[in-house]
Structure 1
Amino acid sequence: METALKHPVDEVLPPARLGLLGLQHVLAMYTGCVTVPLVFGAAAGLDTHTIGLLVNADLLVAGLITLLQALGIGSVLGVRLPVVAGATFTAVTPMILIAGQYGVQAVYGSMLAAGVFGILIAVPFARAVRFFPPVVTGSVITVIGLSLIGVGAGLITGFDSAPDYAAPSRLALAFGIVLAIVLVGRFARGLLGQLGVLIGLVGGTLVAMGLGMTDFSGVGGAAWLGIAAPFHFGAPHFPVAAVISMCVVMLVTFTESTASMLAVGEMTGRAVTSRDLARGLAAEGVSGVLGGAMNGFLDTAFGQNVGLIGITKVRSRYVTAVAGGILVVLGLIPKLGAIVAALPGPVVGAAGLVMFATVAALGIGILGRVDFENTGNLLIVAVTIGVGLLPVVAPKIYHSFPAWAQVIAGSAITSAALTAFVLNLLFNHTRRNI
């Protein structure tokens, strides 16, 4: 009887299902997660070996924070929902600028300081949850999904300078995987029906191997065990401008993650209270502390994994706890990480395309509960989507803005979140005197 009364979020699935579903979450977010250290490392002029250490640290911290979000620590840390954490793209530009002006030691010093700042402000920030009604969360989640579709498309087509850019073989492979996911979702039942994305990834990789589209040459040279020592680059530095910049990034990340956590609450049927949200945001603050000390990165709740929950309908937080454990293992064993990193772009992109679109569909579903009659909500949604997608359709639109402004306005998710938040205050929390 006790098991029957247990909420699906707290349900512990059989080990085989936990393992497969957890692996599916890892495969869904891996490429997005490791892209941040790859981009930052290249821009900061780091050598290949050092970038590899950053990738390991990135996965390790993401795994620890994912475990923290799923299992929690008392009444202090962790939202206790199926949330998967990964490195946020919001921090990439500020980190590159800080590295260029103050050095890599300042990057990790400012990240550590921002982590402490995030832990301290988690509770007051979470108390603003009443300012995130469906008109705000639905608009932002819709933009999150739509803005990420371009990432999936880029993985499918490859670089526009490559000879095989958008080659028929790449497109055929990608659309074949999408078709496989659709067919599994339509005709399979039980556990098999929940593994459509994983089946698409594995099957697509096997087909890609037959077509000569895979390259696992880097796997042999990767070590079986490796982790960078804390403060690999030396004692952290704390320039005031760098610290302020990273604290702004933390606030922006909180805005993004609030929408994602509320979305997971919607999908799982467990309402997210301000206390739950505060614990979840505090865990992200911990990612800054761990990232600053362990050469990692600030983490956020990954949108593609929110979409995966919508596809599989699996609500157990223990599934993402397993995903966190797998990420920790990948962070400690570079050779395993290299295998996953070698998945062909069209394969990962096709799976991402379905998941990102699912996130957008979830946002549209939330907007279906919004009252559009005799309110300003329709305008809120319209302007939010328009402003949010501007940097997606015109990536260089804010190139003449100061660097700090580009961090905010140039991010589709961030600009959408701030636009929806401000417009909701204007239309729904202020009196009309005219």
Structure 2
Amino acid sequence: MTSPHPVDARPPWPRLLMFGIQHVLIMYTGCVTVPLVFGAAAGLDTATIALLISADLLVAGIITLVQSLGLGRFAGARLPIVTGATFVAMGPMMLIAKQYGLQAVYGSMLLGGVIGIALAWPFASLVRFFPPLVTGTVLTVVGISLIGVAGGLIVGNDSKAATFAMPSHIGLAAAVLAIAVLCTVLGRGVWSQLGVLIALIAGIVIAIPMGLIKLDAVSNAAWLGAPHPFHFGAPQFPVAAVVSMTIVMAVVFAESTASLLAISEITGKPLTRGDLARGLVGDGLSAVLAGVLNSFVDTVFNQNVGAVASTRVFSRYVTAVSGALLVVLGLVPRFGALVAAVPQPVIGGVGLVLFATITVIGVETLRRAELSDRVNLTIVAVSVGVGLVPVLTPGMFTHFPSSAQILLNSGISLAAATAFTLNLVFNHTRIGEIARGTIETEEREIVSVT
């Protein structure tokens, strides 16, 4: 009897639960940050923001289940994927809220999701134009970009805050990092694979005497809380807002395509056009559910891509358990508040390992991209440079139109678009043949002179 692919294998329940919890702890902070930031920017009260968080976790859990297990032939890539709210939609949502109100925010999101579902299969036909040259470039940019996120979790994002860059926080992150490395490298079997979770638990224990565990929000949180459909009123569909959210879906598709190709690369399971299309339908479905339940557009969380790469646990049933846990957290706010109590330096410490792992996988993928070819080398160099510009130079595109900023402020999307376009021009047209012919002529002339 042929054994199933590791992606389709189902580990024993104790391992499923432990690895599922590990994924949730890794992604939780990034997931709930989106409703926190949007709620504050929109001037919402604490109770309403709590509703947004519950809806965010519920939708993330549902879509994670769909992506991991599949929804017939309609949606779901059936890969070890954890999804969560993306920051890509944040800017447009704030602008729409200011100009048209929250009913337009969620109405345009709902309709943008419907349009996204309709465009998923045509978009997926582009998968053949994502060879290792493109996917390796994007993976490298993803990993480097996320290292900055880990750093922000460790030192804080407000340089004027009294707790910014406290040596004790950096020391805590360093201890967590060291424990994760020791467990992963020196551990055997399941202990090595659970190195991240062990490091997270150890970090929580260390943080208790440091006074970094705040449980006030846990005691104040309700036990049960289901999101209310169309909480802000009947949806509205201003044309400009719908166009803006459709652009958001296109950018989310580009990021998810890169992430799905990365998961395929890591797990060794080929990604067919159908798999990619159903994965993108999942993104569109998240926008539809978000529009109804007052949540946010979801995408594949690259933090968890790093976890899959680091632990080498490829089972999609593990991430399905993560999805089920997220649904519970969305319906039981008190549990969600308990997970939220994990200090950010602890998450940042393990994040450094996970995000750097993605970078290394990107470099490994690029080894198959024939970088001895000067044209390919130039494509990678330019794409990495362009992709890291918005990451290393925040605010660079501030004076560009808001619709353009959706793409330009996303280093991952910018790198993907650049690598995809340059690969298309120089590896799928006569221009590339002419360029390589010129290079060969120059090299022959150099050899003849010497």
Both structures adopt the same fold (TM-score exceeding 0.5):
yes
Letter in 2 for 1:52: A
SS in 2 for 1:210: coil
Q: How big is each residue's C-alpha offset from its partner over 1:326-382, in whole Å with a ceiling of 9 and x where there is no partner?
A: 000000010110111111111111111211111111111111111123351111111
For structure 2, the 5+ residue unaligned runs are 436-450
Corresponding residue number in structure 2 for 1:71: 69
Letter in 2 for 1:48: T
The root-mean-square deviation of aligned C-alpha atoms, in Å, is 1.0
TM-superposed CA distance for 1:277, in Å, is: 0.4
Corresponding residue number in structure 2 for 1:274: 273
TM-score (norm 1): 0.98
SS in 2 for 1:86: strand
Which is further off, 373-382 or 288-297? 373-382
For structure 1, the 5+ residue unaligned runs are none
Partners of 2:376 and 2:43 lie apart in 1 by 47
1:10 paired with 2:8, answer yes
TM-superposed CA distance for 1:294, in Å, is: 0.7
Corresponding residue number in structure 2 for 1:376: 375
Corresponding residue number in structure 2 for 1:331: 330
Corresponding residue number in structure 2 for 1:113: 111
Letter in 2 for 1:247: T
Partners of 2:136 and 2:371 lie apart in 1 by 13
TM-superposed CA distance for 1:217, in Å, is: 1.1
| Matches for 1:230-309 after TM superposition, within 5 Å | 230-309=229-308
TM-superposed CA distance for 1:164, in Å, is: 2.2
Corresponding residue number in structure 2 for 1:37: 35
TM-score (norm 2): 0.94
TM-superposed CA distance for 1:406, in Å, is: 1.3
Rg larger for = 2
TM-superposed CA distance for 1:197, in Å, is: 0.9
Q: How big is each residue's C-alpha offset from its partner over 1:44-71, in whole Å with a ceiling of 9 and x where there is no partner?
A: 1111111110010001000000000111
Corresponding residue number in structure 2 for 1:421: 420
SS in 2 for 1:238: coil
Partners of 1:45 and 1:364 lie apart in 2 by 43
Corresponding residue number in structure 2 for 1:153: 151
Aligned length: 432
> What is the identity percentage for the equivalent residue pairs of Structure 1 and Structure 2?
58
TM-superposed CA distance for 1:228, in Å, is: 2.0
SS in 2 for 1:8: coil
Q: How big is each residue's C-alpha offset from its partner over 1:22-77, in whole Å with a ceiling of 9 and x where there is no partner?
A: 00011111111111111111111111111110010001000000000111122221
SS in 2 for 1:297: coil
Partners of 1:327 and 1:17 lie apart in 2 by 17
SS in 2 for 1:398: coil
TM-superposed CA distance for 1:215, in Å, is: 1.2
TM-superposed CA distance for 1:160, in Å, is: 1.4
Runs of 4+ with deviation above 4 angstroms: none
Partners of 1:134 and 1:425 lie apart in 2 by 13
Corresponding residue number in structure 2 for 1:312: 311
| Matches for 1:85-234 after TM superposition, within 5 Å | 85-158=83-156, 159-234=158-233
SS in 1 for 2:371: coil
Partners of 1:96 and 1:138 lie apart in 2 by 33
TM-superposed CA distance for 1:386, in Å, is: 0.7
Letter in 2 for 1:419: T
